[in-house]
């Protein structure tokens, strides 16, 4: 059994986790990430030696943080303002994400179908415990079959996404050929890096349609099914 995408053979699928297995619309982000964002900004002031900024200063930096993180990602923006990886991981991993997620039968069915044809991997800068806790909610028992196919932030040897070296490390660990690998992410910069390396890319965004930066836009993960051809072995 095999999969084709736009006439090309697919030998592996790599999926981001945050915002890819579940939809991060504005309401979700406001509910889940608001407090974490405030903690990150506060931590940048502490790094500056100013643990008690006035309200105007804090508001200005918060606005800048939000705007810049859309392009550069939360981690890189946090580090730009003086934060470090350990503090970032401690704050982000402290968010009880699994409490806000729900079981998704459509994703379960899609992942099962993918796994019958090709290896399916998860590549995320999040901590492995955070990923597994979220997966257990979204895909139930299927998470057990995926736990050995995850490259998480705490297990990466070098730099994290969106650095190109992180993608190279991922390809080497999973023994994948980028030319026959599909990559899906909700972050266009990370999808750009995957595309630069030769991967076939999907951008998960509930508010966009069509093609962006040569990435196929899908509104939710299981919608990828519409773009794939599943080829069964002859009896």
Query: Which residue has tokens 């009896």?
Result: 235
Taking the C-alpha atoms of residue 183 and residue 203, their distance in angstroms, rounded to an integer, is 9
Verify that 109 and 91 share a domain, yes or no.
Answer: no
The predicted model gives 68-97 an average pLDDT of 88
C-alpha angle 213/97/194, rounded to 5°?
25
Percentage, residues of the chain above pLDDT 90: 71
Q: Is the per-residue pLDDT at 21 higher than 90? A: yes
Confidence of residue 9 (pLDDT cuts 50, 70, 90): very high
Q: What rounded mean pLDDT belongs to the chain?
A: 92
Confidence of residue 100 (pLDDT cuts 50, 70, 90): confident
What does the radius of gyration of the chain's CA atoms come to, in whole angstroms?
Answer: 18
- The confidence score (pLDDT) of residue 235 equals 46
* 35-71 tens-digit pLDDT: 899 999 999 999 999 999 999 999 999 999 989 987 7
Domain stops at, among 69, 97, 125: 97
- The confidence score (pLDDT) of residue 184 equals 98
Q: What is the domain extent for residue 70?
A: 26-97
Taking the C-alpha atoms of residue 106 and residue 112, their distance in angstroms, rounded to an integer, is 10
| Helix (H) or strand (E) run with residue 72 in it | helix 55-72
Verify that 53 and 154 share a domain, yes or no.
Answer: no
Verify that 82 and 160 share a domain, yes or no.
Answer: no
Residue-wise DSSP of 11-56:
-EEEE--TTTTS---HHHHHHHHHHHHHHHHHHHHHHTT-SS--HH
Domain stops at, among 97, 116, 137: 97
- The confidence score (pLDDT) of residue 234 equals 64
Q: Is the per-residue pLDDT at 25 higher than 90? A: no
The predicted model gives 200-204 an average pLDDT of 97
Verify that 44 and 16 share a domain, yes or no.
Answer: no
- The confidence score (pLDDT) of residue 62 equals 95
- The confidence score (pLDDT) of residue 23 equals 85
Q: Is the per-residue pLDDT at 164 higher than 90? A: yes
The predicted model gives 119-123 an average pLDDT of 98
Number of domains in the chain: 2
CATH number at residue 180: 3.40.50.1000
Verify that 81 and 138 share a domain, yes or no.
Answer: no
Verify that 140 and 57 share a domain, yes or no.
Answer: no
Percentage, residues of the chain above pLDDT 70: 99
Domain stops at, among 70, 97, 124: 97
Verify that 11 and 74 share a domain, yes or no.
Answer: no
């Amino acid at each position: 059994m095999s999969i084709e995408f736009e006439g090309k053979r697919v030998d592996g699928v790599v999926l981001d986790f945050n915002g890819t297995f579940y939809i991060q619309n504005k309401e979700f982000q406001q509910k889940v990430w608001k407090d974490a964002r405030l903690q990150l900004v506060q931590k940048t002031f502490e790094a500056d030696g100013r643990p008690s900024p006035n309200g105007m200063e804090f508001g200005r930096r918060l606005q800048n943080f939000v705007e810049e993180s859309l392009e550069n990602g939360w981690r890189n923006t946090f580090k730009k303002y003086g934060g470090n990886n350990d503090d970032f991981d401690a704050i982000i991993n402290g968010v009880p994400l699994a409490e806000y997620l729900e079981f998704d039968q459509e994703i379960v069915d899609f992942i099962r179908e993918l796994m019958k044809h090709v290896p399916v991997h998860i590549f995320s800068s999040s901590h492995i415990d955070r990923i597994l806790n979220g997966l257990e909610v979204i895909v139930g028992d299927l998470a057990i079959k995926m736990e050995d196919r995850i490259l998480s932030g705490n297990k990466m040897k070098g730099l994290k996404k969106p650095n190109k070296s992180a993608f190279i490390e991922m390809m080497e660990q999973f023994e994948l050929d980028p030319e026959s690998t599909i990559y899906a992410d909700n972050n266009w910069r990370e999808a750009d890096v995957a595309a630069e390396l030769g991967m076939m890319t999907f951008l998960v965004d509930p508010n966009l349609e069509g093609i962006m930066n040569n990435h196929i836009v899908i509104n939710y993960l299981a919608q990828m099914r519409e773009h794939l051809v599943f080829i069964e072995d002859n009896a």
